[in-house]
Structure 1
Amino acid sequence: MATNVIIMGANGRMGAMLAGMAMRDDELSLVGVCERPGHAQGLEMLKCEVADNLEELLPKCPGAVIVDFTAPEASVKMARIAAEHGNPCVVGTTGLTAEQQADLAQSAQKTPVFWAPNMSVGVNVLLKVLPQLVKQLGEAYDIEISEIHHKMKKDAPSGTAIKLGQCLAEARGWDYDNVKQHCRDGIIGARPKEEIGVQTLRGGDVVGDHTMFFFGPGERIEVTHRAHSRETFAAGALRAAKWLSERKPGKLYAMADIF
């Protein structure tokens, strides 16, 4: 039986891709799309429910899984509304504050909620294997991260870079917030032993590049993930939607739960 889905921001770059891929997937049924007031032009061609108000749309699509890649405040609000109506939701929005993540977790107590700052399978496999690399190399290796995204990306560092940094810090037994260094400028002195630097680059139409550097005595290891298309993120989100449709509320689900 196909999983019913609703796409938020269906006229945006990511939303349009999600809607198109959902329509081509035999295991999914696109039952609704939602856009901001005044931005829903042309969506009637999708032959599903079209709305600029999620609260009015959800009673027409009971149980449908909402997929949202919009903006932090909008995604958190969406999850609250979804919780009130009992609709599961998948959130791929990045740049959420700790408070907003806590808000999502609260909504997850009422309805299944899935959130991942990066939906690609490759990145999430890296999150599983990088701790082993860190532990095998030992503390003689300094850890740094660089991330590159298109010039329209609003948050920095990327949610993926932060997630990778948290993963690497945890493998060292560190608290990421205590060791992160998101900016270096001026005469800053020697690099502290317990530090993870994150360099942010923005330009052009880069979908997303992330490189982890391990600087050791006499050698350097680089592990890089490059996203060639946003389709990899959309595919991961739709995979999550299928999986989430059979879950129960009670926790904020992530990619690790699928694996």
Structure 2
Amino acid sequence: MQVVSISSLKGGVGKTSVTTGLASAALAAGIPTLVVDLDPHADASTALGVRPDEQLDIGRMLKSPRRAHLADNVVPSGWVEHASLASSNGGSGHRTAPVLDVAVGSAYTGIYDRPDLGRRDLRRLSAVLAGAGDYELVLVDCPPSLNGLTRMAWTASDKVTLVAEPGLFSVAGTERTMRAIQLFRQEFAPALSPAGIVANRVRTGSAEHSFRLAEMQSMFGELLLTPHIPEQANWQQIQGAAHSVHHWPGDSAKNAAALFDSLLANLMRTGGSNTDVASAGRVRNRSQR
């Protein structure tokens, strides 16, 4: 089982969109996957079309992690129904039922989003995920901060994937987050590795985006994952309908789905990099070129 945190210091860069895109690719690939919606806004839960009944949300599981019984409290994504229908229409023969479960997010998790969590609190998510052995992949959608919830996720994770737009403030935030990961590894999680950086919402015709992508390549090298994810005009519509991008009609969605397939494959085989971003060049203002 691989546990991957999806993180960003800056809000609004499409972190949850990348999380759900990767979840969609995992579902299409038949990889049993759990999405942990650790962001108090719970946007990933909404996009994944979950319908909780009596299950505990992730915040209440974190409150009593050793009694949480994860398997009893996860909720199947509404996407699974679409995937099962597509599989049944694709031909005859035995097919394994797809698995995409969600540890549902809630505002309750906000009580842990503090900068002063001790080591015991940082292990809460690890204790909850001790019951996640049936999954091959766990994606943790983190809030856009470096407070307690993100550090709790990093403690429980094998890898951290960062999401950034190719813009000045986002790239600068990514550099700071990479440094924070290095410090966190030294003190709390020596086995944690940066899985890479996803460049999201890329506009191919933008000179600024081209400049920043080249800068990111220079700064982060092989940690800048490919393919980059272009700005998707209908992404809000897809998420609003609580659909997987792999089961949304149209060439645009089909192309986006293929990009997430490739990104997931690259993500699953990366990790363990010892790239020292402390020696990387500073993010430049355009006037410094």
- Shared fold per TM-score greater than 0.5: no
TM-score, normalising length from structure 1?
A: 0.39
Give the structure with the larger strand fraction.
1
The higher relative CO (CA closer than 8 Å, separation ≥ 6) is in 2
TM-score, normalising length from structure 2?
A: 0.36
Structure whose alpha-carbon radius of gyration is higher: 1
